[in-house]
Structure 1
Amino acid sequence: MTKVTRTARPVLSLLTGLSLLSGAAQAGTSSDTLTVNVTVIAEPCTINGGSPVQVNFGDDILTTGVDGGSYIRDVDYNLACPDATNDDLKMTISGPSAGFDPTVLQGDQPALGIKLLSDGSPMPLNQPLNFNRNTPPHVQAVLVKDPAGTLVAGPMAVSATMIVEYQ
């Protein structure tokens, strides 16, 4: 999975600013040197010790039993933020949304997806969820089926990226 630090946004803003400055320098008759100093105030959090977070539903899923509640698994992960100066974090799980439901992660089977829950409530997909690092959210994955689709027996995989940032 991915780890992100608080400094990612200032860098993007800086690149935009440099782009604007370079346009102005080209239009004018003089140029000057720009010096940028950056201080990193905290190391990034590490998700799952740097290893992928995996959820296995097993090999005994019945296509007729996928109803959005029968097959639910915990998303086991851990966070290490040893240099955090603030306990306020935000988590975003990013991935492609299913055509039949924008809150569901699309798998490689068109009629099957994964809905995420945070502490038992639907978790927003591709949107940040604020939390305190001392009480990280209990994330669960639920198999869901497209009501208009037909499930096919066979393996299914879903990929997503978990991003944890300082607020």
Structure 2
Amino acid sequence: MTNRTVLLTLMLFIFAQQPASAWAEDNMKFSGRLIGPPSCSFNNDKVLEVDFGEILTSKIDGKNYRKDVDYPLTCTNASKVNMRFCCGSAGFDGAIDVRVVGFGIKVYANDKALKIGDTYSYTYPNNPKLSFVPVKKEGATLKGGDFSAGTTLQISFP
């Protein structure tokens, strides 16, 4: 060991033995609270069902048969929320595909039309009013029959 190494080792040992009060007092303090990531529960984790009943094909105009839907959406540790409907585009008017050519369901959040895949951002807990309305493709002639479909509502946090 060289003299320089011995001196450095001795100095480190002496500083390590000094009480904390020998060093400068803290002039900064840090505190806070760690919270978990945001999460939400939509409709109490149950499928939300919207039944339009009987729809007269000649009365489908994008206004008739509109259904405003109440739904519980509860979130923890969230303030800004993104809502997006995905999966199953009818291929026209941004509507949900219901497996009937030329027919779909249009989605509205607070009376703003949403296309499948569009993101609607808002501040929680002011959940938007959701509405759904049957629409048909311009020039389409619809035949009678049952329809059913599904879509996925995705919730994310910016």
Query: Which TM class, normalised by the smaller chain length?
Result: 0.7 to 0.9
Matched, 1:64 2:58: yes
Moved over 3 A (4+): none
Consecutive unaligned residues of structure 1, counting only runs of 5 or more, are 1-38
Q: How many matched pairs? A: 125
Residue correspondence of structure 1 range 65-80 to structure 2 within 5 A: 65-80=59-74
SS at match of 2:105: strand
Matched, 1:91 2:120: no
Which residue number in structure 2 is paired with residue 164 of structure 1? 155
Cα displacement (A) at 1:102: 4.8
SS at match of 1:109: coil
SS at match of 2:49: coil
Q: Is the 8 A contact 2:106 2:115 kept in 1?
A: no
Larger radius of gyration: 2
Q: CA RMSD in A?
A: 1.8
* TM-score, normalization by structure 1: 0.69
Consecutive unaligned residues of structure 2, counting only runs of 5 or more, are 1-33
Higher relative contact order (CA 8 A, sep 6+): 1
Q: Deviations over 1:29-67 (max 9, x none)?
A: xxxxxxxxxx98225211111001111101x31111111
Cα displacement (A) at 1:160: 0.4
Matched, 1:155 2:155: no
Q: Which amino acid counterpart does residue 48 of structure 1 have in structure 2?
A: N
Which residue number in structure 1 is paired with residue 13 of structure 2? none
Which residue number in structure 2 is paired with residue 33 of structure 1? none
Report % sequence identity: 26
Task: Give the alignment partner of residue 48 of structure 1, picking from 36, 43, 53.
Answer: 43
Which residue number in structure 1 is paired with residue 115 of structure 2? 124
Q: Is the 8 A contact 2:93 2:106 kept in 1?
A: no
Q: Which amino acid counterpart does residue 87 of structure 1 have in structure 2?
A: S
Q: Deviations over 1:113-144 (max 9, x none)?
A: 01111111212321221111111111100100
CA distance in 2, matches of 1:149, 1:102: 13
CA distance in 2, matches of 1:95, 1:150: 25
CA distance in 1, matches of 2:88, 2:135: 15
Which residue number in structure 1 is paired with residue 132 of structure 2? 141
